[in-house]
Amino acid sequence: MTAQYPQLAAALLGVWVLYSLVKSVVSKIQDRRKAQALGCLPPHDVRNPWFGIPAYLDVVESARQFKPIDYAMRLHARGGNTLQQTVLGTQLITTFEPENVKAVLATQFNDFALGTRNKVFGPLLGDGIFTLDGSGWSHSRAMLRPQFVREQIADLSMLGEHVNNLFDAIPGDGRPFDIQDLFYRLTLDTATEFLFGESTFCLAPGKAAGSGPLARSGGEKGFAYAFNRCQDDILKRIRAQKLYWLVNPREFREAVKTVHEVVEYYVDKALAKRNTSEEEKNIDSPSSRYVFLEAVASETQDRKTLRDQMLNILLAGRDTTASLLTSSFFYLARNPDIWDRLRSEILEAFPASENDDQITIGRLREVKYLRYFMNEVLRLIPPVPFNHRFATKDTTIPVGGGPDGKSPVFVKKGMKVSYIVGVMHRRKDIWGEDAEQFRPERWYEKNKYGWEFLPFNGGPRICLGQQYALTEASYVLVRLLRKIERVENAQPEIVDPLLKLQLTVGHAHGVKVRLHNSKLV
């Protein structure tokens, strides 16, 4: 009897394989009929053999060479504006088409969701606004959105002290330094003060509380390492597609623990303050400063909810703005004519005789060339160049099917749709033959834009902190260009940006510059 077990097991395996093949064929026939009924045609199929393992290795290699957008550009050249491919056994649609992005993010919003993001990002970000779908997301947005439309967002006085600390950290003798490192410290300082009411003072550690959370996590560098390590591993989880759960090393878990402890320090402090008497809080004092976490704590006192939401916002507040500022100096250091023009227009709007406290949001918005300059930075190096959604039901996207790419495309329930704005922002048929050239002047010709320019996402999930990030970046650039007379590129060997892709992009080797102070300011 026992001798028959191997034969029985082999027979059962054969039946299962046959069943799977028949099920797959039947499913494909049904999908084809649904697509025909909806007038859909398939997009260009980029043949990826061996379950898409070579395609996955190409993605990994492009990341190793710090050229993720270059890889996506090659994919676009190979498959057109919308294509179908297989990566690690996962079939997905990749699109660089504004109309399709608009459908996924806005007009067909309910047809698409984040899918596995909550599980992939969950160890770090938990149940926050960037990881939740459905009612959980709606509740998060309703809780957080009022905090981003308050007048406190326009409070530039909070930024002033931190920019002063930035100037103190810049070498005064013109020697080269990595300005990216300073920008990431600056945005951590400003984000923690805005969110938690207590800055980490990474740029001025002498001002930080000696018993604060960073002191217990190895200082600012210890926290920064843990934060970046978390993002590195989450990116590996994203690339692993459905096999994300295999990426969970001990170092990742320890880094998550460190980051959580830092944020929980602030959460516990806010909850303790909330539990004090009204007299002790003195909440009606006109001098008391707005604190984002305390405002959200009035909506919920759940410790994990507060930690997760604050961590979601901290990630965006620190990394997105730092990425924009760093990329700004990457281009300024390589384009002295643009530096001169931008500085000239800034000094015209904010004369050297004025104090820094006279810089306001309204006046910042009047400097058109500053706005166009930042648009051009965000066009060529968007902080989040890659994104995706999953179909919640059998649905379609408007274009990309058929030989001419003009027919709708059928999207099966559960299928992943990847949209890459890093390529969409470089399409020559949209932006002209000089699409890959850094030229802020193009925005005088194109001062209105739609879904072809999407640095902060769009639709109902558009970035809540968009105006906060743009305001902070504008203020920092104005302060720097008023003070600094000239910038030199200290990395002449790096002509094109080498980008390290995490949840946002950074420059793999930093942005090394020499800055020369103006004697006039």
Query: Does some domain include residue 136?
Result: yes
Q: What is the pLDDT of residue 385?
A: 94
> How far is 203 from 165, CA to CA, in rounded Å?
6
pLDDT for the residue 331: 98
The rounded distance, in Å, linking the Cα atoms of 133 and 141 is 11
Specify the 3-state DSSP secondary structure of 383.
coil
> What confidence tens digit (pLDDT) does each residue in 261-320 have?
989 988 988 888 877 745 455 544 444 567 888 888 888 888 999 999 888 888 887 889
Residue 490's identity, in one-letter code, is A
pLDDT tens track for 377-396: 999 999 999 999 999 999 99
- Domain assignment present for residue 276? The answer is yes
User: Is 218 inside any structural domain?
Assistant: yes
Q: What is the pLDDT of residue 158?
A: 84
Domain at 188, CATH number? 1.10.630.10
Among candidates 330, 339, 345, 341, which has minimal Cα distance to 510?
330
- pLDDT for 392 equals 96
Query: 101, 400 in Cβ contact below 8 A?
Result: no
Helices and strands (DSSP H and E) totals, the chain = 21, 13
Q: Is residue 95 part of a domain?
A: yes
Q: Is there a domain that residue 411 lies in?
A: yes
Q: Kindly state whether residue 394 falls inside one of the protein's structural domains.
A: yes
- List, for residues 476-500, the tens digit of each pLDDT value: 999 999 999 999 999 999 999 999 9
Cite the beta strand spans of 337-480 per DSSP E.
Answer: 386-391, 395-401, 407-411, 416-420
Q: Is residue 120 a part of any domain in this protein?
A: yes
Tell me: the pLDDT tens digits for 203-246?
887 777 665 666 666 666 677 788 889 988 998 998 888 889 99
Helix, strand, coil percentages in the chain from 3-state DSSP, rounded to 5: 60, 10, 30
pLDDT of amino acid 295: 82
Range of the domain at 58: 39-517
Rounded to an integer, the average pLDDT of 149-155 is: 61
Q: How confident is the model at residue 520 (pLDDT cuts 50, 70, 90)?
A: very low
Is 10 contained in some domain? no
Question: Both tokens of residue 412?
Answer: 């099966």
Quick: pLDDT tens for 40-96.
Answer: 999 999 877 888 888 889 988 999 999 999 999 999 999 999 999 998 888 899 999
DSSP β-ladder status, 90-95 and 505-507: unpaired
230 annotated binding-site participant: no
What span, in angstroms and rounded, lies between the C-alpha atoms of 205 and 172?
19
Tens of pLDDT, residue by residue over 2-54, are: 556 677 777 776 786 666 567 556 667 778 888 888 899 999 998 778 888 88
pLDDT of residue 287: 45
DSSP 3-state assignment of 218?
Answer: coil
Separation of alpha carbons 486 and 481, rounded Å: 8
Element (H, E) at 468: helix 466-483
The pTM of this model reads 0.89
* The pairing of beta strand 386-391 with beta strand 512-517: unpaired
The token duo for 444 is 């005088």
Q: Between 216 and 397, where is the model more confident?
A: 397
Query: For 406-427, how does the pLDDT look when each residue is reduced to its tens digit (9 = 90+)?
Result: 999 999 999 999 999 999 999 9
More confident residue, 348 or 294: 348
Q: Is 484 helix (H, G, I), strand (E, B) or coil?
A: strand
Higher pLDDT, 446 or 263: 263
Tracing tokens 């097991």 back to the chain, one arrives at: 9
pLDDT of residue 443: 95
Is the per-residue pLDDT at 461 higher than 50?
yes
Number of domains making up the chain: 1
Instruction: Flag whether pLDDT at 333 surpasses 80.
Output: yes
Average pLDDT of the residues of the chain: 87
Look at 161 and 519; give whichever has higher pLDDT: 161
